[in-house]
Each structure stands twice: as C-alpha cells, then as structure tokens.
Amino acid sequence: MKIGVIMGGISSEYEVSLNTGKEIMNNLDSDKNSICPIKIKSKKELIDKVQNLDFVILALHGKFGEDGTIQGFLDVMGIPYTGSGLVSSAICMNKDISKRLLRYEGIQTPDWLIVRNIDELKYQKIEQLGYPVIIKPNSGGSSIGTYIAHSQEEIFAAVREVLSLDNEALIEKYVKGEEITCSILNGNLLPVLSIKPKAEFFSYLSKYDKEGAEENAAQLTENQYRQIEQIATKCYEVLKCSVYARVDIIIKAGIPYVLEVNTLPGMTKNSLFPKCAKAAGISFDQLLELLIKYSLDK
C-alpha cells in the first residue's frame, strides 16, 4: 500500500506538525508499505502530491489540518485517511460550537464568551466569569496564543494578540483543579493520564518541553474512572469522532469539566496520545497500524 504522510501545513502549528510527521515516518513499517513524506506549506501543493496514493496519514495540526478542510478534499479525491471526517473535524476545531453541543448534552464545560473584535469587550459581562480567565483562539491548538489574564487590562492585551491569529477569541472561566487527558482509540478509553504543568497552565512550552510537565497515571477510584470514561466516550460520540481523539478534562471538587476535544492529537515523542497507548501496552508502531486499520474500516 502506498501511504502518504502529510505534514507541515499553513497553521501556526507548522513545526509541531513536522515533528509529528517525523515521528510517524520513523515508526511506520516500510517493509509492508511504500511510505511517501509529503511536506506542504500551501493548499495548492496537495493536488499533485496525493495522486496515486492508497492512504493518507494526517500529521497536520490547526487550520487546514484539523478543521475539516483537508478531510473534505481527500473525500472528494476518494483517498482514505486517518482520524475523523469533515463534520467532526470542523465541529471540534471550533471550540465555541463544540462547547455548546457538549453543554446541550449535559456535559460540564467551563463558562465562556466569544469576541470578534476589541469593541465587543466593552459589552461583554466578563466579570461574571471571575478572574483569572483563559483567552485563546476559538480555532487553534497546542496552546499557541493562549493566555491567562488576571485583570481587564490583561484581557484587552491578550484578546488583541489572539485576534491577530484567529477571527474569534474565546474567553473562558479558569477552572483550577487536576488536569487529565483521556485518549480514545476506536471508541475505547485508553489509560488516563494526570498532567501537572510547571507553568500556571498547560502551555505550549509545557506540552512540548519534556521537562514542562509531570505526566503520570491518574489516581482515580473505580467510580471516578467510570464517570470519566462515560464523559469522554460521550464527547467522542456526540461530536461524531471516529478512529481516535483526545479529550482534555479538569477535575475540580470532584466535578469533571471538559476543556476541548482534539481530533488529530499530537504524535511527537512528548505527545500525550502515544503515552496513553504505551500505558495500554501499545507501542508506537502498533498504534500506527491500528490507526490505519480502523481508518480503513470506518
């Protein structure tokens, strides 16, 4: 089978994507398959580069990778690919929409506001969220452009920065508690990891610096585990995910709050999804084989 690994892209997560692609390339079985690295910097490059491929592994992140655009393109081309389809990818990439759907289904998620320009801040009742607040692009990942603000002045400064990266800024109530990550493979929950960032929150540096956070098996009672399993898999189902996804959760006073759902989790050496798989006894190369199998079966 001729497999293309698409990496790079047009988002601010370009370097993260290259690292994901490199790690995938290093662990794919080249004896069974013909492996084609496809590094892109624009949408126009794709048409010629994906011709005659039997399958695509998406190592992209951010816009054009996780937002359903490339998924729709590959659907039209008739080329199967890893992960969720167009609809799920688009929904999960838009944090405002995905949070609305989760809340409608009775799943707890921190309160939030959306602003599209600085002037809107004057009319939003941000004080109802309390301080501090988290400010981030509505459609972004890897905590790029994510800030924590403790005052109105810091909110204005952070929103300006975020709006330089995205059309919408999400202002979210800061929930302080135990952060866990729930990796789901083919609808089944893998071992849950607890994350203790050394920074004030799980920032970009915390995620990709091997010394940026402590990650250990989450210490959950059987009842807590069942609750987390139910919430994470419900998120996966409600948002129409397929093959694999990662659900990030904060537990405060025993209540799990879903932060977001990632349809193309990072696959670098320091990424959480491969660590969860490893805790389940699944090596990186085995994980890739499973992703290909489940993607072809979907």
**Band of residue 133 on the pLDDT scale cut at 50, 70, 90:** very high
Q: 């655009």: which residue's tokens?
A: 69
Q: Distance (Å, rounded) from C-alpha 32 to C-alpha 30?
A: 5
To which CATH superfamily is domain 112-173 assigned? ATP-grasp fold, A domain (3.30.1490.20)
Q: What percent of the chain has pLDDT over 70?
A: 93
- In this structure, which amino acid lies at residue 4? G
Q: Distance (Å, rounded) from C-alpha 269 to C-alpha 266?
A: 9
Q: For the full predicted model, state whether its pTM sits above 0.85.
A: yes
In the prediction, which pLDDT does 268 show? 84
Is residue 57 over pLDDT 80?
Answer: yes
Q: Distance (Å, rounded) from C-alpha 90 to C-alpha 63?
A: 10
Q: Distance (Å, rounded) from C-alpha 128 to C-alpha 250?
A: 20
Q: Residue 118 contacts by C-beta under 8 Å, 6 or more apart in sequence? A: 156, 159, 160, 163
CB 80 within 8 Å of CB 295: yes
Q: What angle do CA 107, 113, 116 make, to 5 degrees?
A: 135
CB 52 within 8 Å of CB 210: no
Position with higher pLDDT, 203 vs 264: 264
Q: How far is CA 102 from the centre of its chain?
A: 16
- Tell me the pairing of strands 2-8 and 55-58: parallel
Reported as a single tens digit per residue, the pLDDT across 206-229 is 444 555 557 788 889 999 999 999
Average pLDDT over residues 39-51: 83
Average pLDDT over residues 159-177: 93
Q: Which of 169, 197, 183 is nearest to 243 (CA)?
A: 183
Q: Is 78 exposed, middle or buried (0-12, 13-18, 19+ CB in 10 A)?
A: exposed
- In this structure, which amino acid lies at residue 264? L
Is residue 30 over pLDDT 90?
Answer: no
Least confident of 18-32, 65-79, 196-210, 254-268: 196-210
Q: What is the mean pLDDT of the chain?
A: 89
The second-level CATH assignment, the architecture, of 2-82 is 3-Layer(aba) Sandwich (3.40)
In the prediction, which pLDDT does 79 show? 95
Position with higher pLDDT, 165 vs 244: 244
End-to-end CA distance of the chain: 18
Q: Distance (Å, rounded) from C-alpha 264 to C-alpha 243?
A: 10
In the prediction, which pLDDT does 269 show? 77
Q: What angle do CA 133, 140, 134 make, to 5 degrees?
A: 5
Domain boundaries, the chain: 2-82, 91-108+176-297, 112-173
In the prediction, which pLDDT does 46 show? 83
Number of Cβ within a 10 Å radius of residue 178: 15
In the prediction, which pLDDT does 61 show? 87
Q: What percent of the chain has pLDDT over 90?
A: 68
In the prediction, which pLDDT does 165 show? 85
Position with higher pLDDT, 198 vs 277: 277
Three-state DSSP at 178 gives: strand
In the prediction, which pLDDT does 126 show? 81
In the prediction, which pLDDT does 209 show? 52
Choose the CATH number for 91-108+176-297 among 3.50.50.60, 3.30.470.20, 1.10.10.10, 1.20.1560.10. 3.30.470.20
DSSP string of 82-147, one letter each residue:
SS--HHHHHHHH-HHHHHHHHHHTT-----EEEESSGGGGGTS-GGGT-SSEEEEESS--TTTT-E
In the prediction, which pLDDT does 213 show? 59
- Which residues are catalytically annotated? 13, 142, 208, 246, 248, 260, 262, 266
